[in-house]
């Protein structure tokens, strides 16, 4: 795996795989735990938040369609990816390390590998920061699972 080392940031949190349970915790991005067997899609996405905030995330979609995210920079990432690779019987290799824009891709399952995870849609800036966003031309972008992924998840209950 040719992946850049994570920066040291407590906001990025931690990720582990223990007893076939995938766990993530972060004060900034929330915490969750699920059985690896409940995950039907593993992906990754990047955004334009770097270098001051995390801009690279893993995406785990469950059988129920729940979308869970974990910072790429989380402590324990490399070990968690090794364990997931062992459980799933294939390498879980991130490939968006050089992206600084809105991009996404499926890592697993192989049938969907390299297909997009998210549709990214520009939305007008809102809230108290909207004038500054417009002035600095900072894009406001919403993301949602692609129709292909929603159909895949629905067919794998």
Contact 142, 123 (CB under 8 A): yes
We find that the CATH architecture of domain 10-116 is Roll (2.30)
Token readout for 141 is 């972008």
Number of residues that make up the chain: 157
Label residue 41 left, alpha or beta by phi (over 0 means left) and psi (-120 to 50 means alpha). Answer: beta
Domain boundaries, the chain: 10-116
Contact 70, 58 (CB under 8 A): yes
> Taking Cα atoms as reference points, which of 7, 110, 91, 122 lies closest to residue 55?
7
Which of residues 4 and 126 earns the better pLDDT score? 126
What mean pLDDT do residues 30-47 have?
96
How far apart are the C-alpha atoms of 10 and 121, rounded to whole Å? 30
State yes or no: pLDDT of 43 exceeds 80: yes
Give the tens place of pLDDT for each residue, 126-142: 778 777 766 766 667 88
pLDDT of residue 41: 98
Q: What is the DSSP secondary structure assignment for residue 117, as one 8-state letter?
A: S
How far apart are the C-alpha atoms of 14 and 74, rounded to whole Å? 5
Q: pLDDT band at residue 2, thresholds of 50, 70 and 90?
A: very low
Q: Which residues pair with 140 in a beta bridge?
A: 123
């Amino acid at each position: 795996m040719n992946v850049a080392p994570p920066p040291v940031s407590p906001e990025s949190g931690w990720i582990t795989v223990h007893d076939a349970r995938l766990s993530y915790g972060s004060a900034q991005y929330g915490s969750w735990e699920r059985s690896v067997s409940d995950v039907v899609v593993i992906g990754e996405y990047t955004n334009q938040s770097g270098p001051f905030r995390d801009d690279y995330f893993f995406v785990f979609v469950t059988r129920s369609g729940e979308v869970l995210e974990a910072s790429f920079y989380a402590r324990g990432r490399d070990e968690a990816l090794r364990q997931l690779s062992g459980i799933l019987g294939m390498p879980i290799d991130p490939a968006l390390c050089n992206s600084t824009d809105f991009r996404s891709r499926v890592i697993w399952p192989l049938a969907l590998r390299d297909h997009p995870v998210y549709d990214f849609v520009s939305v007008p800036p809102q809230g108290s920061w909207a004038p500054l966003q417009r002035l600095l031309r900072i894009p406001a972008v919403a993301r949602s699972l692609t129709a292909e992924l929603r159909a895949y998840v629905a067919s794998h209950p």
